[in-house]
Structure formats: C-alpha cells, structure tokens
Amino acid sequence: MGVYFPAAIGYLSLSNCSCAVAKEMGLLQDRELLFTLVLKVGFAAALAALLVRFKWFRKLVFTENRDSDQKVMLLLFLVPPLAIGIMLRLIGGYRFFDLTLEGSFLMGLIGGRIVGLLGGSLISLLPFGFHEWLSAPMAALVGLLAGMIRDVIPEKEDVWHFGPFLFLNVPSWLWKLVRYRQGNWAMLPLFACATLELGLIALGRAVHHNWIFSLQTSNAGYMLLVVLSSVMCVATAIKIWNNTRIEMNLEQNQQNLLKARMDALTSQINPHFLFNTLNTVSSLIRFDPDMARGVVLKLSNSLRRLLRKHDTFVPLREELEFIDDYLDIEVIRFGRDKLQIFKDVDETTLEVFVPSMLLQPIIENAIQHGLAPRVEGGQIHLRTSHRDGRLRIEISDNGIGMSPTRLRDVYAGGIGISNVHERLRLLYGDQFEMDIRSQPGEGTQIRIEVPMLAAVEAAAI
C-alpha cells in the first residue's frame, strides 16, 4: 500500500487537472457561442435595415396581398443575401452568418406558403452540395409552416406585431387567455419559431453532425439563448420593416388628406365661377339673346374641361386655354372696348405643370373687384417666364386697387386669392412665393413663383 499511495495521489491530481481544463474549455466554448449569437442577431438586423433602403422592397413589404410577380420579387430580394450568409459559414466558418431557419421562417411569414417553401429550398441548395442532406427539407418545411401560420392568422396586421420583446408579454398573455379567453395571434409565430429552433437542435443531436447545421450546447441556459436568438432575428427584421410600413402608411394618409383638401378647395372655386358666369348670362339674355347664347357655349366648353379632368396639376398650356374661354365670356359681358387682355407667354413655359384652376380665380378677382367698378373698364396683363428652375407668373391690372388695410387681409377673406394661396401652400410648402402689390387707384399686381415641375414630378406630388 505504501508503494502505490503516492501514485494514486498523482493520478487523482491529474484527473482534477483534466477536469479543470475541460471545464475551462467548456467555458470558452460557451463564451464563443454567446459571441456568435450576438453577431447573428446583429447580422439579421443589419440585413433587414439594408433591404428596406430599396424602394421596391419597401413597396413589397407595404403590400399585403401580393401577386405572382411581387412574390418573385420578394424572393429575389431575400434569397441571395441569405444564401451568401450560408456560403460564408460553409467556406469561411463564420457560423453567425447562417440564417437558414430564421430566413425560411421569415419568408413564409411575410410572403406566404409558396414564398416560404421556394425560398427555404433555394437558400439550402448550397448546404445540400456540402452533404448536409437534411438542410433542404428542413428549410422548406420551416418556410411552409410559417406560410401556413400566416394563413391561419385572421388579421394579417397581427403578423407585424411580432416584436423583439414580445416574449416579455407571455405571462400577461397567459393570464388573459385563462381569465378572459382573450388571445394574441402574434404569440403564434413566437412559439412556432421557438419550437422549430428546439426541433432543429434536437435533430442535430439525433443525426450525423454533418447532415444538418445547428448551434449545439450542453448548457440548458445557453440552449435557451440559442432559441431566443432565433426569435430575435425574425422579430427584429419584422420590427424594422414594420416601422417602414408605418411611415409609408402615414405618408399615404397625408397624401389622401392633401387630396381631400385640394378637392374641397377646388369644389369651392367651380361653383363660384359657375355662379358668376350664370349671372352674366342672366344679364345678357334680356337685351342680347345671341350674345347670351355665345356665353353659354363658352361656359359649356369650360364645364366640359372641368368634368373631363380633375387632376391636381395640368400643363400651363391647358390652364391658359381654360383662361381663354373664361376671358371670352368676360369680354362679351364687359365689351371689347372696356376689357382688354394682353398676354406675354414664354413658349418654353407652356409644358410646365401648374396647379389646376390657378389663374382663373386671380383673373376673376381682378375683373370683379378691380376693373368692374371702373366705368371706363381697364386692362389685364398676363406674363409667364422662368429663371433658375422656377416658373414666374405675373397678373396685373389697372383697376381701382386695394387699400393697405384690405391688402393686409387679402389672404383671410373671400374665395379667390385666399383659395389660391392655400392650395399653393399645401402643394409646395415653403417652396412657393406669392407677392401682391396694390395701390388705390393704381391697380394690383400679383406675382407667383413656383418650382418648375415636369409630368413625372407633378404625378409624384
């Protein structure tokens, strides 16, 4: 016994050292796994943020019911970066780039069963070539199940409620479910993603380690972090894209509100114009029926143009044609000797887009309030020019003018001038100028400057 006792002690010491080294190695592996999980979530967030910078992808995310072409476009955006990440894992050993399960689940949840099935199959073709035989069927199944989950959820908006910290609401969700029978459909993709990750870990342990890739650990706490990282990858991408959807929805609502306000302002102008013209007809029909008939014909031309098109912007050429018909009516009413019109139009400005019904209220205001009170009538001058990418329109008359007090309140009252100013403000913001100068007995000059818009730019506003 005395001979073997020191040897036994030495053996025990070596065993303790081996256990300590093994424990230290295991700690290092767990730290490496934690670092990999952090990088994995970061890569998923960066990829989602990068994709949403593309205009076409934002439209695809904003659209809930996609046709076949849009589904193909969604695959073209998502499959290549996910496949590149898998390739970096296979060739370079960077495990955090592999988002096979998360990407397949995300494509199915956003795009539906077909997108999930095809997307999962496509991104797993490369691992299949590296003898990871179960990668393709696993990814295709995950994408298909995610698409089925999307179909099960009644309101597709609930899909976008799947956020990174939704798991913190699990206790309150369970309480509401048990107490009030009130569920939360956003919990379904949460539990499905976690369950699929657990299934992947179990499958990776059950088969040959080369047949399928999964992040493995013997520590139950770190295994929970692996599952949580998969949930965070999917939820972070959805959160980033949902923020973009909310911004686009707000922008669309603002455009709809702008259009509604523009329609309301335009509907103000048209009855005003019609009312004044009918008054002209009623005054002429008693002593000159033929002239009244001519006014009615001109009025019908104007009304046909108003009913045929209800665009926010029209070419300046069309606006001037409309003005010609209107002025013909007013010339008939006042007489050619009392109302003279002079136009100095730059030919290069005719195709520039301007707000519809921009000039008519101003000219009508000049005639009704500036020239009509003058017994001898007067003149109206219309000029257009451009400089430094801006269109300038000047309308001046030699009527009775306005007092300083009336000039200060010109934007607050009436329909004509205040209406035009409000529409210009809505359409151009601070990019327009509207200057009114007037002196009693010397007439009024109105100058408008707006950015020169082509057809494409006008359609975008």
Rounded distance between C-alpha atoms, residue 461 and residue 457, angstroms: 7
Which residues of the chain fall below pLDDT 50? 1-15, 17-26, 28, 456
3-class SS string, the chain: CCCCHHHHHHHHHHHHHHHHHHHHHHHHHHHHHHHHHHHHHHHHHHHHHHHCCCHHHHHHHHCCCCCHHHHHHHHHHHHHHHHHHHHHHHHHCCHHHCCHHHHHHHHHHHHCHHHHHHHHHHHCHHHHHCCCCCHHHHHHHHHHHHHHHHHHCCCHHHHHHCCCCHHHHHHHHHHHHHHHCCCCCCHHHHHHHHHHHHHHHHHHHHCCCCCCCCCCCCCHHHHHHHHHHHHHHHHHHHHHHHHHHHHHHHHHHHHHHHHHHHHHHHHHHHHHHHHHHHHHHHHHCCCCHHHHHHHHHHHHHHHHHHHHCCCCEEEHHHHHHHHHHHHHHHHHHHCCCCEEEEEEECHHHCCCEEECCCHHHHHHHHHHHHHCCCCCCEEEEEEEEEECCEEEEEEEECCCCCCHHHHHCCCCCCCHHHHHHHHHHHHHCCCCEEEEEEECCCEEEEEEEEECECHHHHHHC
Q: Output the pLDDT for position 188.
A: 84
* pLDDT recorded at residue 1: 42
Partners of 445 in the β-ladder:
396, 437
Name residue 314's beta-bridge partners. Answer: 354
Give me the pLDDT at residue 460, please: 56
Q: Give the angle 146-152-157 at the CA atoms, nearest 5°.
A: 85
Of 454, 334, 295, residue with least CA distance to 389: 454
Q: Where in the chain is the domain with CATH 3.30.565.10?
A: 285-460
- d(CA 101, CA 192) in angstroms, rounded, equals 12
pLDDT at 396: 93
Identify the pLDDT of residue 171.
Answer: 66
CA dihedral in degrees (273, 275, 276, 278; nearest 10)?
Answer: 120
Q: How far apart are CA 397 and CA 436, in angstroms?
A: 12
169 backbone dihedrals φ, ψ, rounded to 5°: -90, 5
Which homologous superfamily does the CATH classification assign to the domain defined by 285-460? Histidine kinase-like ATPase, C-terminal domain (3.30.565.10)
The confidence score (pLDDT) of residue 21 equals 42
Q: Which residue in the block uniquely carries the two structure tokens 């329909």? A: 415
Amino acid at 258: L
Cα 209 to Cα 30: distance, rounded to the nearest angstrom: 19
Q: What are phi and psi of 453, to 5 degrees?
A: -110, 135
User: Are 284 and 292 contacting, i.e. CB atoms less than 8 angstroms apart?
Assistant: yes
State the residue for tokens 């019904």: 357
Q: Which residues of 137-161 are buried (b: 16+ CB within 10 A; e: fewer)?
A: ebbbbbbbbbbebbeebeeeebbbb
Residue 351 CB contacts under 8 Å (≥ 6 apart), including other chains: 315, 316, 317, 454
Distance CA 264, CA 270 (A): 10
Confidence at residue 103, expressed as pLDDT on a 0 to 100 scale: 94
Which pLDDT score is estimated for 249? 79
Please list the residues that pair with 436 across neighbouring strands.
446
